[in-house]
Amino acid sequence: MKDLGDLLTCPVPLAGNATVLLAHGGGGRLTRDLVERLFLPRFRNRWLEPLHDGALLDRPGSRIAFTADSYVVRPLFFPGGDIGSLAVHGAVNDLAMCGARPLGLSAAFILEEGLAMETLERVAGSMAQAARLAGVPIVAGDTKVVDRGRCEGLYVSVSGVGVVAPGVTISPLAARPGDAVLLSGPVGSHGIAVLSAREELGLELEVESDSAPLWSLVERMLGVSKQIRCLRDPTRGGLATVLLEIAAASGVGMRIEERAIPVEDGVRAACEVLGLDPLYVACEGRLCAVAAPAVADPLLEAMRAHPLGRRSARIGEVVAGEAGEVTLRTVIGGERALDLLSGEQLPRIC
Amino acid sequence: MKDLGDLLTCPVPLAGNATVLLAHGGGGRLTRDLVERLFLPRFRNRWLEPLHDGALLDRPGSRIAFTADSYVVRPLFFPGGDIGSLAVHGAVNDLAMCGARPLGLSAAFILEEGLAMETLERVAGSMAQAARLAGVPIVAGDTKVVDRGRCEGLYVSVSGVGVVAPGVTISPLAARPGDAVLLSGPVGSHGIAVLSAREELGLELEVESDSAPLWSLVERMLGVSKQIRCLRDPTRGGLATVLLEIAAASGVGMRIEERAIPVEDGVRAACEVLGLDPLYVACEGRLCAVAAPAVADPLLEAMRAHPLGRRSARIGEVVAGEAGEVTLRTVIGGERALDLLSGEQLPRIC
């Protein structure tokens, strides 16, 4: 990330927020504030600083990718997945977004006293199956139990280690004017599927989470070209946030065609009812790629030939405009600038 | 681990426990049950199976160690440390127990809505300082926020990646009859220090946690000899549990001299008042080593020359007896067999 030099020498408290808000976990502006103003000034180092989905640890002869996420999704089970499969997919995808083949995962559980053992068995079984399907072993783990009422059933943190093949250099800092912006499928299904599982909302939707492990798709893409510049999976904050972050990190602008962005009908309908913008709703099995224009078409073809990329689309291009400025040409032909959400649109969807 | 073959083909629910108990997180028999009967049958793979403190991922040309733990210690701050420094030390030590030089850590936070930002700053600052002193960068992170009352301030999961030098093969399965058992310093200080910070107990103790990063000590030991067979840090469940686990995993017995085990006066006094056995109380900056008899004395000398090993002692030996049988010769000259605790002696001390 850029423009943090002043924070390096002067760690400051977060202006205006004396306590943690739910929105600090929402993936939008407040999350970025927390990272940039609280964590980065303290933890600063060259591996952390790119704020990529994972860190690259260079070793003589190999590049190791390393990532970690906590999962607190509510409820634990939702259409198309559960906290266990979601956590495995999340770790695999963070590694894949670094261009890394997953080598192993760890799972650190925080369990609430009184959790039904059957629930834990179901989650562990789901993690095991997801790991098997993704072709990556769970190689380390930990279990802590907290008193009743000090956790909601279970939380799990999954970290992952992967290896990056020689010649692959994927970074959120690498987008250049003229590059194509590709998207691997419809957005927002995960967030809406989780919402639909919250009984208190009384939603009756037929939306399934898109949660899926993306390494095999990325592997196929890398087989077409190593000239993929950036990869990101639009999780918390959705596609809009990922585009804004890439544009800011790379110091470029983007022009995006709303019409080109696939959205499932059920997701669109739910978003209308709930007053949500699908561009800000999380996916857990989609990726956004920035690639040199010369390789965009063959990449798109390879993506569409993969089961997880059948509805891939070219959704826009990188432009030389102001750093971090992402302009959306809307379906009705207007233009609007995308912006980070400051509040929390959908708490605890991952 | 051994004797799990039957579980491989037939994952069964945990007999007798339909819900998660606090003791499932205590590091004793119930924790082992949970791991062996619930997680292992589902996650089984050759990297996970040794149940070491970390997993070793072999890559051509390098061996990567990988570990993960969650921290839920209560209260967040205690004499000699806090949840942040503890988490960094825990990850560094798990890597060190694999003989691995730490390369990078990740930190995944679960924050409670309403947590004072100042508390988070203090914890992050402490993690940063602990990481700096241990010489390892925090390279990846994540933040999730849960609703008020769904967490107790903050929990953090830290995972670590390290690299094992050629020729180093440390494993809990490697103890052999005749080997010496070495301990790097007094036991139980961490657990008692955390208890002393719980205001509801009204304890007035002058005990500081031993929480410390052990890689530099291990590095010095490896400089003396690569014939170190096992390394473990006695955390949850304390020294007794670690000895029992090594003996069971290696299929050997042990004879331990209680008199040789250093215990701080304050820890001994507190344990008497509280009815605790210091051999079962957690350390977070001590290690137990099993080494070939020929290298035991030079190793002990090197350990004593290191600031974190000044009170190192040879506390016993590995014998050919029944697998997993650890006999303690008590101070008064009797003998007793150590056993895993089934209950939870000290909940949430890490």
ipTM of the complex: 0.90
Q: Which residue has the tokens 């600038």?
A: A337
* Residue B176, amino acid: R
**Residue A225 contacts B where some CB pair is shorter than 8 Å:** no
> What is the per-residue pLDDT across A255-279, written as a single tens digit (0 to 9) for each?
999 999 999 999 999 999 999 999 9
What's the CA gap between A183 and A262, in Å, rounded?
9
Entry pTM: 0.91
B145 close to A24: Cβ distance less than 8 angstroms = yes
What's the CA gap between A282 and A265, in Å, rounded?
16
Percent of chain B exceeding pLDDT 70 equals: 94
Check residues B305 and A347 and name the one with the higher pLDDT. Answer: B305
What's the CA gap between A309 and A288, in Å, rounded?
11
**DSSP labels, B259-297:** GGS---HHHHHHHHHHT--GGGS--SS--EEEE-HHHHH
B335/chain A closest Cα distance in angstroms: 33
pLDDT of residue B3 exceeding 50, the answer is: no
- A62/B62 CB distance under 8 A: yes
Using CB atoms, pick whichever of B35, B43, B142 lies closest to residue A69.
B142
Question: Per residue in A71-103, is it b (16+ CB within 10 Å) or e — as a string?
Answer: bbbbebbbbbbbbbbbbbbbbbbbbbbbbbbbb
Q: Give mean pLDDT, residues B281-307.
A: 97
B330/chain A closest Cα distance in angstroms: 32
Q: Residue A90, SS3?
A: helix
What's the CA gap between A180 and B171, in Å, rounded?
50
Give the pLDDT of residue A61.
Answer: 67
Confidence of residue A193 (pLDDT cuts 50, 70, 90): very high
**DSSP labels, B40-79:** HHHH--TTTTT--SSEEEEETTEEEEEEEEEE--SSSEET
- A144/B48 CB distance under 8 A: no
Report residue A83 as tokens: 């906290």
Confidence of residue A60 (pLDDT cuts 50, 70, 90): low
| Chain B residues in contact with A128 (beta carbon < 8 A) | 42-43
